[in-house]
Structure 1
Amino acid sequence: MKREDVQKLDQLDNLSRFKHEFYTSPDTYYMDGNSLGLLSRRAENTLLTSLNDWKLHAIDGWTEGQQPWYYMSEKIGELTSPLVGAKPEEVISTGSISTNIHQLLATFYQPTGNRKKILADSLNFPSDIYALKSQLELHGYTPEEDLIQVQSSDGYTLKEEDIIEAMSDEVALLLLPSVLYRSGQLLDIKKITQAAHERNIIVGFDLAHSIGALPHKLHEWEVDFAVWCTYKYLNSGPGGVGGLFVHEKHLGRKPGLAGWFSSSKEKQFDMDHDLTPAETAGAFQIGTPHILSSAPLLGSLEIFHEAGIESLRTKSLKLTRLLMDLIKEHLVPYDFRIATPEAEERRGGHVSVTHPQAASICKALKNERVIPDFRAPNVIRLAPIALYVSFEDTYDVVLKLKDIMENNKHQQFSNHRGTIA
């Protein structure tokens, strides 16, 4: 693969115009958008609009101004719904992944008799497992006995057959990632959901590493619930508000954790001490919306609607394919191994490579103005985000990585992660 080859790919890229929407640093290659997406000018503008509404309208900002706050969560939910293949009323912008998991487990985890176990996996992000364990303990169960974690045969990927085999008649609920953070493997959501429902198991997915990177069909697949963050591929900013999906067959159900904004909008300010839950996914909100963490999404999601999630997925697959091919061409002699599945239908939006000195290599990359992502103990994650990473950027990143290895530039850094990896 030569530079002129990737330059031709950029010339044919109809999404290249969106790169200028984002604030990028000169001579820097940002490959960490699967941890924190870049700021777009539109997200900045909608945040400033909410600040201005606060400045001009004070308390009346809830109903007046350019972006009234009272219905902002519902509006963002409606804008997000096409990205997850849902009806607008099935989606709400609220909370964080962890708080939304707690909310939905409190609602849907209803152990009865022998059916009390929760099915998860051994590769999920720790926060999800923390939530599952604490919910089991709140019900008087022990995680050691009642949390089933499907094991990986290689430490990076899972087999759907192993997940399905673990679906015993003791399992009440399962929660799995759509895309595994360590390897970028995309699970077969439809297959897993169908198998679980055949066994009367409630199904939930964490879409943190898939929303905004690839299309979903949560309603069609009849997933019971899903959660996600928005600060990765959706570019809402650090600590940006999360989101959740609840299938319409469950709407009207009383939330397990009721709160001020669980209420029907028409009834909320009646100040009644008996909750009348919203008939939409809005019922699964708890507290007052975080307006300044929500407002950037109004601008960011505009970009997704203009670009189209199918087009973004097509480019993303080409970028990750190019990245994997270049790694094979240039880096295999230096003990790099690709942990991400090769098949298009099996991978998300980032590529994971392993190396015994991954931490020091990541430090060397940052020294060369390449921003990667390290995951202990030996994973380097590289995310060529379709909205703001070009094919030539991807080419340059691999050449810089090759230069680091050829000249042992990583050896000047310790092979230990920083406080934040």
Structure 2
Amino acid sequence: MSIIMEQIRKWDEEDSLKEYRNEFYIKENSIYMDGNSLGLLSKRAESSLLNLLDSWKNLGIDGWTSGEEPWFYFAEKLGELSAPLVGAKKEEVMVTGSTTGNLHQLLATFYQPEGKKTKIVADELNFPSDIYAIQSILKLKGLDPQEHLIRVKSRDGHTIHEEDIIQSLNEEVAVLVLPTVLYRSGQLFDIKKITKAAHEKGVIVGWDGCHSVGAIPHEFHNWGVDFAYWCNYKYLNAGPGGVGALFIHEKHFDRTPGLTGWFGSDKQKQFDMKHTFTAAATSGAYQIGTPHIFSMAPLLGSLQMFGEIGMEKIRNKSLHQTRVLMELIVQELSGFDFRLANPKEDARRGGHVSLEHPEAARICKSLKELGVVPDFRKPNIIRLAPAALYTTYKDVYDTVQIIKRIMQEKHYEKHSNEREVVA
């Protein structure tokens, strides 16, 4: 059955999250479909940042231990608020560092090559920064990445077969590092299944949750995930350069972090100023330097909304909106050489739709010119991400209609088919 405007209006009227759109700053006459790359600013995030600035203004150095949000314990508080989003105990999550910096920390801790067990498995579709970090760690260990990094091949250039991942885990593999969702195609891996299979083969498992946390509920603790890490500026709307986060399963709390620093200390001993490191008994041990308070502050306001809503409602709306988007693409854009590169099944799809076209870069430039903010990824992918907290069904419908207009009028031909400096 065709999707018509009457149905779109009905879905918007019945949307249980529609009031949260009013929490965000949305540019007039603009449709923002890039929340999987950088989420929009919310009024609560703005307020929490201004409150932390105010504490500096009024308290000076006493802001570390005084005021509404003492800075000394702020990372732990944000970790506790983040824990329900990934199915973790509050002690297992810490807001700290950056995605790549945290991966360096985690590999420095968990990658301990011994005997024949020296290899790290990733996938060939992984985000480049993760691969750079793995290569760097291997070199620091005196190992050749060409030999000791195994990248599981894609059969179609868009997705990875989970059986191929599991098959790659032989007796030489020490650590498996995978994204929860492939950043180009939006494929969601079966985290529980892969983690279990890896553990049966004696492999430590780490997950990059950048393209899932805030859009998809996880159960990292119950699934036995060893470690995970993610950014907070995509679906969690923490702002550009927002501080990252990491998860350490409590079964590993007895490990000393591979990279130690002052803020990983037991807080009762940190200011003893001794040269013997006494690690925090939780994931807090994985902090290195002083928390970036103002880069963390917006996340507080954002996490308050996620705590009110719960991840199940967010996931349900996200799945429905991406399903509607896919159906509209098929309905309205047939004959224009588009191809859906993301999995169609709900259980295998992340929070964005991946649309393939030979003129993708030009089409994205036209979309921006006509008021839609998409995301381009080389070589030919248009990523469209309805964000559950602020995207309407009308936004989804209008986006497809604007793409249709671009193709009918050949509007894209005025642009070069090359990416901008920041795609």
Indicate whether the TM-score tops 0.5.
yes
Aligned residue type for 1:116: T
| Equivalent position SS for 2:29 | coil
Q: CA-atom RMSD, angstroms?
A: 0.5
Aligned to 2:279: 277
Cα deviation digits, residues 85-119 of structure 1 (max 9, x gap): 00000000000110000000000000000000000
Distance 1:375 1:331 in 2: 20
- Which residue identity lines up with residue 117 of structure 1 in the other structure? K
Paired position in structure 1 for 2:236: 234
Question: 1:34, 1:209 within 8 Å by CA — same for their partners in 2?
Answer: yes
Q: Distance in 2 between matches of 1:324 and 1:217?
A: 28
Q: Distance in 1 between matches of 2:256 and 2:116?
A: 24
Identify the residue that residue 168 of structure 2 maps to in structure 1: 166
Structure 2 equivalent of residue 141 of structure 1: 143
Q: Does residue 330 of structure 1 match 2:329?
A: no
- For 1:287 and 1:48, the matched residues in 2 are separated by 23
The CA distance in 2 between the partners of 1:331 and 1:292, in whole Å, is: 44
Which secondary structure state, in structure 2, belongs to the residue aligned with residue 410 of structure 1? helix
Distance across 1 between alignment mates of 2:141 and 2:208:
22
The reply on whether 1:45 has 2:37 as its aligned counterpart is: no
Partner of 2:335: helix, strand, or coil? helix
Amino acid in structure 1 at the alignment position of 2:375? D
Q: Which residue is 1:28 aligned to?
A: 30
CA shift at 1:331, angstroms? Answer: 1.3
CA distance in 2, matches of 1:384, 1:93: 25
Note the 1:218-367 alignment, pairs <5 A: 218-367=220-369
CA distance in 1, matches of 2:310, 2:161: 30
How many residues of Structure 1 are paired with residues of Structure 2 in the alignment?
421
1:8 maps to amino acid: K
The answer for the alignment partner of 1:4 in structure 2 is 6
Q: Which runs of 5+ in 1 are unaligned?
A: none
**Corresponding residue to 2:159 among 157, 160, 163:** 157
1:70 has 2:102 as partner: no
Q: Secondary structure at the match of 1:175?
A: strand
Q: Give the match for residue 200 of structure 1.
A: 202
Flag as ranges the 4+ runs of structure 1 deviating above 3 A.
Answer: none
Contact 1:122 1:151 (8 Å CA) reproduced? yes
Contact 1:252/1:278 (8 A) holds in 2: no
Q: Tell me how far 1:307 sits from its aligned partner.
A: 1.5
Residue 295 of structure 2 aligns to which amino acid in structure 1?
S
AA at the equivalent of 1:384: P
Using the alignment, how far apart are the partners of 1:153 and 1:12 within structure 2?
A: 41
Q: Aligned with 2:71: secondary structure?
A: coil
2:284 counterpart letter in structure 1:
G
Q: Which amino acid aligns with 1:417?
A: R
TM-score, normalised by the number of residues in structure 1: 1.00
Identical-residue share of aligned pairs (%): 60
Distance 1:373 1:410 in 2: 15
2:81 aligned partner: 79
Matches of 2:220 and 2:63, distance apart in 1: 34
CA separation in 2, counterparts of 1:150 and 1:11? 45
Match 2:119 to one of 96, 117, 120: 117
1:323-346 deviations in Å (ceiling 9; x for gaps): 000001111310000011010000
Structure 2 runs not aligned, ≥5 long: none
Deviations 1:330-375 (A, max 9, x none): 1131000001101000001000010001000000000001000000
Query: What secondary structure does 2:12 align onto?
Result: helix
Within 1, Cα distance between the matches of 2:185 and 2:141? 33
